[in-house]
Structure formats: C-alpha cells, structure tokens
Structure 1
Amino acid sequence: MAKRKAGGAQSKLKRIWRDRVLYLTLLPTLLYFFVFHVIPIIGMKLAFYDYRIKGDNVFVGFTYFKKLFSTPVFFQILENTLIISAMKIFLFFPMPIIFAIMLNEFKAGPFRKSVQVISYLPHFLSWVVIAGIWFEFLSPSTGILNSVLSNLGFGKVNLLTSKGSIRWVLLASESWRSIGWDSIVYLTAIMGIDPTLYEAAKIDGANRFQIVGNIVLPALAVTMVTVLILNIGFFMNAGLDQVLNFTNAAVNSKIDIIDTYVYRIGLQNSQYSLATAANLFKGVIGTLLIVSTHLFSKKLTGKGAW
C-alpha cells in the first residue's frame, strides 16, 4: 500500500514537471489570491479585539458580534444581501448556458465572432461606466426606454428610484455585463464534444432540440455543477461596486447590503472592529455554503467542486 502511494506521488510529480510551463502560467493568479485573499485572513482577528490607534488592541471576545446582531438594521441588510444574491445566482445562472448553446448553433464565421466580441466587451467596463450607460438608458426625461413608452402611449417610469424595480435593474445590468463573458467556459466545453456524437444523432433522426437535450447538456453537467458550487460560495457577495453606483436615497433601504454596510461603518465611520466582525460573518457563511453545496452535489450526482 505504501509503495502504491509512493508510486502515485512520483507519477504526479513527473506530470507536474512535464507540464511545468503551464503551472508557471498559474503563478501570477496564485500570487494574487495569496496576497489579497489569504494574507488578509490574519487581519480578521481584529473582529475579536477593540482596535486602538495607540497601544495594543484589547481582546473583547464576541462583543462586536453581539453588537452586530443586536443592530436592527443589520437584519434588513442581511435580507437585502440574500435576496439580491439569490436573484443574481439562480435567475442569472441559466442565461450564459443558453447563450453558449445559441452561439454554438451558428456556424463559425464573421457574424458569430462579432456577436461574441460584442457580448464580451461589457465585462471589461467598470461599474462607473456601466452605471452611466444604464442611467442614460433609464432616464425618465431622455432615456430610450421612456421615449419608447411615451411613443406607445404609456406613462414614463423612473426605475432607478423605484423600490419595487431597483433590484431587477441590478439583475438586468449584471446580466448585460456578464452573460457573454460567463458563457466562455460553457462554449469551450461544448466545443470539446466529440463530433461523431452529433453525426450519430443525426443518423438516428434526432432534431436540434434532441441533440441539445441528449448530448450538449449532459456534456455541460460537470461544468454547470462546478460553476454553481463556486457561485454559491460567493452567495454573500451581492456586488459592492454595482450597488455603490446604483444606490440613492430613495432605494437605499432595498439594496443596502453587507459589503456597503462594512464600507460605511469601517471606512467612513472608522469602526474597524465592527466592520471586520460583519465581514468575518459573511466569510464564514460563504465557506459553509460552498462546502455544504459540494457535499450535497457529491451525494446527489457524484460530482462536486473537488
């Protein structure tokens, strides 16, 4: 048994050495996550200390967590975070898959390349630029949407200041920004399907919908499960940059999330320990979600994130 394990370890080392150039390309990404995501974990201990500008920080245990959960506004913020995240994950999740399948139906050519490039571009825009575009599009006075509604005989609407619609605006702008970029991983998986499977299906008389249902979707199963599990891990991240650019006094109560709360009390009000406690709570919930989703998927389908 020991010899078998040693042989397996040597085989893995040989494969790593053989593909060393590919692993080196991962180095910048690994450094990024180490510097900006691993090292900051050490600073999370501030949630258990009373921060002092001068002198040593004083250990106070769970004092700031108790203060956090005794704040009535925190539960409204938590509710906003859960609702917005659920909308982005579960309602948006099938869109890149459908978009990738639709792109695959087009023959490779100028039209398909143009659609891909145009759909990828919004991903590279900052949320400041995207918010500006959507403000112009939804403007009650000069926006395209209200111009169309007026021409059709309907009254003008201001979706940006409506509590009932602002969350849908966040979902729509997120979809517009990410649908093309997120479809890349699915399109890559589709392109890896053995062409002989398509040929066999056509010989058997299968139509396009049957091919998608019996060949394409099963081939995407592992990718879909992996992406869903990773998305669940970021469930508590409802989009700080997006919310900061779309928020206003009229709708703040509906889109104020944990990240904006941490930004407000931490950077603006200098309550560093309380802000760290809120962020640590968010991180722990995210970790539990990704582990539980992985275990559930592993038990249900035999496939997980690792």
Structure 2
Amino acid sequence: METYFSEVHIPMGNRSAYAPGRAWNRLWKYRMFYLLMLPGFVYLVLFHYLPMLGLRFSFYDYDLRGVGDFIGFEHFRDALSSEGFTRAFKNTLILSSANIVIQMTLTISISLLLNELKNRLFKRAVQTVIYLPHFLSWVVVGALFTLFLSRQGGLVNAVISGLGGEPKYFLGNPTLWRGTYLFILSWREVGWGTVVFLAALSGVDPQLYEAAIMDGANRWKQMVHITLPQLVPVIVIVLIMNLAKIFNLFESVFVLYNPLVYKVSDVIQTYVYRSGITQFRFGYATAVGLFRSVIAFALVVSANKISSRLRGESVL
C-alpha cells in the first residue's frame, strides 16, 4: 500500500484520507446524511437518467410491436418537413419569449414596489396573496378560468354582457387565446418569481442608499443608480434559467387549449404528447423531444457565453 501512494505522489500528511478504510469510515459516520440523500438520488436516476436510454428510439422504426429497423435521421427529417412541428415550434418560441419578457418585467416591477413598503404587516399580506396562486395545480387553475371565462354563465362574460358588450369565447378564439393564456400564466407565476428578486434586494448595502441621500438623490435616482445595477447579476441568472425552460411548456397549455386553437396554442410538448400517446408514433415523438432538448441546451450555453462576455464571468 505504501508503494502505491508513493507512485501517485500523494503527500505524506494526506495519505490516510485516501485509504479505502478511511472512506468506508466516513461513509458510515455520515450514513444518516446519505440516507436522507438516497430518495432524491434514486428519483433522479429512475426518472431523469434511465429514461435517457430511450433516446435510441429516435433512430429506429419503433412502435407498439417493439424496436424495428434502424432508420437513422428519418424521423428528424420528417419532423423538420412537417407543418405540425413547424407550427408547434413557432408557437413555443412566441409564447415562451412573450412569457419571459412579461414575467421578468412584472416580477422586477412588483419586487421594487414591495421593497418600498415600510409597513411589514401589509407587505407580508401582499406577498402572501400574490404567492398563493403558485401553489394551485394547473388542473385547478385551468378549471377555474374555464368557468370564469365561459360564454354561458362565466363571470367575465356576465360583466361584459352587463356593460352592453357581446360575450367572447376567450379560450376558443384563436385571436384571444394567446393573450388570455399569458395573463393566466402571469397571474399564477409572477408572485412566486418575486421571491428571488426580493431576496437580492434585501442584500443591498443600506450605506449605498444613505450616501445617495446625502448627495441629494431622490427615490427614483436611487432605484436607477443603485437598486437596478445591484439586481443585474440576479436578472442574468434568472434569464438563463428561464431560457433553459423555454421549451418546457406543457401543463399550462394542455389544460387551456383545445382543437379550435391548435393553430396558435399547440407547442412542442403537446405536439410530442399527441404524436406519441394518441397516435402511437413513439420513435417520431422521441426524435422531436430530443431535438427540443438539443435546441434548449444550445440556448442555455449561448446565453451563458453572452453573460460571460458582458459580466466577465459565467453563470454555469
């Protein structure tokens, strides 16, 4: 054993840390921590890594009968030439991009407004109210807004009719669906998104504001020259995290869309669902999902490189 350690040039004082017995002793000493980590590790392996073995179906003629012949990139060529995929890809980019812009704007604005509140009780009450929608499942949210926006008996259309207007089918009209969807998505998620920015604001050095007040800066100038620059690193991180999820739209769309609005609402995830689950085109659906993951990865890497050039350091 001494010869082995001398060959790899491990310093004398650190040799005991690399001994197999020492590693087992540490494992046994901290066994409770490893046991606490075990469920999360098992979940990660079973539901995130093992399913990746199914990516090979993208290159095979796979259906309910099993794995067929190797067909290479035929599924990918079919997807790129498919009108349905092109439409879903475009809708995903439009909805995700609009959602990122709207949510970033609203979360930053609301965080700045909440940060200005001096009454702690009122501030916590407002935070609680805007956080609550995040904890509702999308099934519940979809059911609620389907009732509220219904043409027959819906609260919103009842108000419109009472004002002399004509009831509208918000979730069945291609012209109104995107705006309605983005409103519902923002209503559910914006409050929760303020958590990160409020945490960042709480870490701003109060001496900066004191110095600005002594220099005669009002609240607006303090926000422009102190608060927002302090938020820039957090904004970049949140933006990159959102880019990583840009193609992950599924539940929110699935509970709110219908065949009448497929033209403006069908996204890649719902397209994959219909192709694989309802049409049994498992190989094709896997290929589309793999293509989505590769594009999302490229977006995250690109955003990280842009952040590295602008800020001098990368996030990932």
Distance 2:79 2:311 in 1: 38
Which residue of structure 2 aligns with residue 261 of structure 1?
Answer: 271
Contact 2:305–2:314 under 8 Å retained in 1: yes
Name 1:42's counterpart in structure 2.
53
Report which stretch shifted further, 186-195 or 140-149: 140-149
Alignment equivalent of 1:293, drawn from 300, 303, 306: 303
Once the two structures are TM-superposed, the CA of residue 159 in structure 1 deviates from its matched residue by: 1.5
Q: For the structure 1 residues 42 and 119, does the alpha-carbon distance in structure 2 shift closer, same or farther, using more than 3 Å as the test?
A: same
Return 66-75 or 140-149, whichever deviates more: 140-149
Q: Is the 8 A contact 1:189 1:220 kept in 2?
A: yes
Q: Distance in 1 between matches of 2:260 and 2:272?
A: 20
Which residue, 192, 195, 207 being the options, matches 2:206? Answer: 195
Q: Aligned in 2, Cα 1:31/1:168: closer, same or farther, shift over 3 Å?
A: farther
- Output the CA distance in 2 between the equivalents of 1:108 and 1:34: 46
Secondary structure of 2:84 counterpart: helix
Q: Contact between 1:225 and 1:303, CA under 8 Å: does it hold in 2?
A: no
Unmatched segments (≥5 aa) in structure 2: 1-9, 18-25
For 1:51, what is the secondary structure of its paired residue? Answer: strand
Which shows bigger deviation, 246-255 or 28-37?
A: 28-37
Count matched residues.
290
Higher-Rg structure is: 2
Per the alignment, residue 280 of structure 2 pairs with 270
Q: Greater CA deviation, 50-59 or 189-198? A: 50-59
Superposed displacement of residue 186, structure 1: 0.5
Change (3 A) 1:261 1:210: same
User: What is the letter of the counterpart of residue 200 of structure 1?
Assistant: A
- After TM superposition, the score normalised by the length of structure 1 is 0.86
Match of 2:168 in 1: 157
Can you list the C-alpha shifts for 1:97-152, whole angstroms capped at 9, x where unaligned? 11111111112522111111111111111111111221232222333333333343
Q: Match for 1:254: what amino acid?
A: V
- 1:265 and 1:275 in contact (8 A); partners too: yes
CA offset digits 1:217-239 (Å, max 9, x no partner): 111111100110121122222x2
Instruction: For residue 29 of structure 1, report the CA deviation from its aligned partner.
Output: 5.8
Give the RMSD, CA atoms, in angstroms: 2.7
Deviations 1:233-261 (A, max 9, x none): 22222x21111111123212210111111
SS at match of 2:259: coil
For 1:272 and 1:67, how far apart are their aligned partners in 2? 13
Distance in 2 (CA, whole Å) between partners of 1:254 and 1:216 is: 38
Of 192, 195, 198, which residue of structure 2 is paired with 1:184?
Answer: 195
- The alignment status of 1:279 with 2:289, answered yes or no, reads yes
- What do the CA deviations read for 1:68-105 (whole angstroms, capped 9, x no partner)? 22322221121111111111112222111111111111
Match of 1:212 among 199, 223, 232: 223
Describe the superposition over 1:167-186 as per-residue Cα deviations: whole angstroms up to 9, x where unpaired: 11111011000011111000
Query: In 2, distance between residues paired with 1:110 and 1:254?
Result: 43
CA contact (8 A) 2:64 2:280 kept: no
Ranges in structure 1 where 5+ consecutive residues have no aligned partner: 1-5
Q: Indicate whether 1:68 and 2:79 are aligned.
A: yes
Q: In 1, are the aligned partners of 2:243 and 2:299 still within 8 Å (CA)?
A: yes
TM-score by length of 2: 0.83
Give, as a single letter, the amino acid of the residue that structure 2 aligns with 1:297. S
Match of 1:249 among 259, 265, 280: 259
Range that drifts further, 160-169 or 149-158: 149-158
For 1:56 and 1:117, how far apart are their aligned partners in 2?
Answer: 51
Shift of 1:32: 4.6
Alignment of 1:162-173 (within 5 A): 162-173=173-184
**1:117 is aligned with what amino acid?**
T
